[in-house]
Amino acid sequence: MKGRLKIWPRTLVVQLIAVTAAAVVISNFAVAWWFEIGSERQRETALNERVLDRGAAVAATLSAIPPSSRGAVMRAMNSPHLWQFTELRPGEGVTRPMSEEGARLAQRLTASLPPKARVGQVTVLLHEQLRDIPTHLLPAHNDDNDEAMRLVIPLDAKNSISMVFLRSKPSWPVEIIAAAAMAILVASAGAALMARRVVRPLYDLTTAASVVARGGTAPHVAEIGPDDVRNAAIAFNQMTEKVARTMESQRHLLSAVGHDLRTPITAMRINLEFVEEEELREGLQQNLDELQALTEQVLAAARGASGESKRSVDLSALVESICADLDDLGEPVTYQNHAPAPVSCRPNEIRRAVRNLVENAVAYGNKADVQIANNSDGYDIVVEDEGPGIPEDERIRVFEPFVRLESSRNAATGGTGLGLTLAKAIAEGHGGAIVLENRRQGGLRARMHLPRMAAKA
């Protein structure tokens, strides 16, 4: 797809993991955020109340005792790690404006003071930087803090006290981050497992389908995975079984026809002896020979294999001799020499299959150029010609028995349409395949693949 994000992974497994991990991260942080905000607000409200109560209580007490005793009382009230009360010198009060919340709390504090002590403006500063507060007003131990809440409460017309309360630093919600990381891990593993469950059978299905597309016999696909994928595998297996059954009945039909033809042919041969007119007898004899050859071909195609056993042969020499035989007969066949190519095969079958391909090239493509190409697990016998080639939509069909294309339905090339059927059966019987393709410069290229160590049987 054009304009598609390049970094977006294309395999289902990675996509699933990415989407799941992203969803987990977003939802975790959303929840953590709401949770943190909520609990932080609660914590702060409770803390503010506490500080306010303490401030009010101390201010009420101080305003009720003689000024000379105030210092001692305040010292007794101090907590060196948490808060400090200090009597402010005149003019040492805060002039900074309060926040809205601060003003509201200041009002509450004022209201909670005894009427006698409500002598002036109370100041509440909620979040003050420690460096903005004069050192002598700070509690002694303030190293771990960077924020404080500050109250200034007038005691009488001249004097006011300062209360500085240390706030602890807001810490990272470590537990939440750890929980999120764990959730990501678990969810990703789950997604990977799920994706594998889907992808494995899909992969098998793809492989099996491409085997069929190349004209091979489809392997049974394991019917596993989630229902949707499993149903696809079941449908695929049903389809390939049906195709296999159809092919099998086709072979049966061929075999039955072949066998049934043998008897009348033999009978006709016997009766032929009684035909006295020589010319007629010879004509009939020739027709019968053709009929017999056709019958044998039908039977061979039906059998697929000849019952011949495997031997180790040099494919190069074998193919060369086929080409040489045809060349001797005056056919336009060339063979490009190749180093010895040892394979284990049924040589007569291979001879027959290759001969079919070469004869086709000569019959429909004017000439046959034959060569052997090395392949990762064996050899390709490549037969090229200069004819019209075969249209792509016919390339599977020509392997079916008796199929001949319109262009070849003439007497000059009069074949039976069994050559490719037979060649394909032979190649597959050796664990190989035949692939047809049109050459760019015109003509057909038939490629018969043979594994070095052909499958047993």
376: helix, strand or coil: coil
Q: Which is nearer to ligand ATP, 346 or 424 (CB)?
A: 424
Q: Which is nearer to ligand ATP, 355 or 452 (CB)?
A: 355
Q: Which is nearer to ligand ATP, 84 or 360 (CB)?
A: 360
Q: Residue 153 has which token pair?
A: 């409460």
**Where do we find the tokens 């932080």?**
40
Q: Considering only residues 323-382, where is the footprint of ligand ATP by CB under 6 A?
A: 356, 360-361, 364-365
Smallest gap from residue 191 Cβ to Mg ion (A): 54
Q: Kindly write out the interface string for residues 94-133 of this chain, putting x where it contacts ligand ATP by CB under 6 A and - elsewhere.
A: ----------------------------------------
Assess 385 for contact with ligand ATP (CB under 6 A): yes
Q: Cα(344)–Cα(456) distance, rounded to whole angstroms?
A: 10
Residue nearest Mg ion, CB atom distance: 419
Give the residues across from 438 on adjacent strands. Answer: 444
Instruction: Give residues in contact with Mg ion (CB under 5 A).
Output: 360, 415, 419
- Interstrand relation of 311-314 and 83-88 (parallel, antiparallel or unpaired): unpaired
Q: Which is nearer to ligand ATP, 223 or 394 (CB)?
A: 394
Smallest gap from residue 360 Cβ to Mg ion (A): 4
Q: Which is nearer to ligand ATP, 14 or 396 (CB)?
A: 396
Binding site partner of 444, from ligand ATP, Mg ion, none, Cβ cut-off 5-8 A by kind:
ligand ATP
Assess 425 for contact with ligand ATP (CB under 6 A): no
Which amino acid type is present at position 364? Y
56: helix, strand or coil: helix
Which amino acid type is present at position 323? C
Binding site partner of 361, from ligand ATP, Mg ion, none, Cβ cut-off 5-8 A by kind:
ligand ATP
Q: Considering only residues 392-421, where is the footprint of ligand ATP by CB under 6 A?
A: 398, 403-405, 407-408, 415-421
Q: Cα(274)–Cα(368) distance, rounded to whole angstroms?
A: 44
Q: Which is nearer to Mg ion, 343 or 444 (CB)?
A: 444
Smallest gap from residue 295 Cβ to ligand ATP (A): 13
Q: Which is nearer to ligand ATP, 88 or 422 (CB)?
A: 422
CA 206 from centroid of its chain's CA atoms: 12
Q: What is the dihedral of CA 237, 238, 242, 245, to 10 degrees?
A: 60
Binding site partner of 292, from ligand ATP, Mg ion, none, Cβ cut-off 5-8 A by kind:
none
On the 0-12 / 13-18 / 19+ scale of CB atoms within 10 A, 5 is exposed
Q: Residue 113 has which token pair?
A: 């003071």
Assess 322 for contact with ligand ATP (CB under 6 A): no
| Conformational region of residue 379, where left means phi above 0, alpha means psi within -120 to 50, and beta covers everything else | beta
Binding site partner of 199, from ligand ATP, Mg ion, none, Cβ cut-off 5-8 A by kind:
none
Smallest gap from residue 354 Cβ to ligand ATP (A): 12
Count the neighbouring beta carbons within 10 Å of the beta carbon of residue 109: 21
Sequence-ordered list of residues with C-beta below 8 angstroms from that of 302, at least 6 positions apart, any chain: 251, 252, 254, 255, 258
121: helix, strand or coil: coil
Q: Cα(389)–Cα(314) distance, rounded to whole angstroms?
A: 30
Q: Which is nearer to ligand ATP, 55 or 432 (CB)?
A: 432
Using CB under 6 A, list all residues that contact ligand ATP: 356, 360-361, 364-365, 385, 387-390, 398, 403-405, 407-408, 415-421, 444
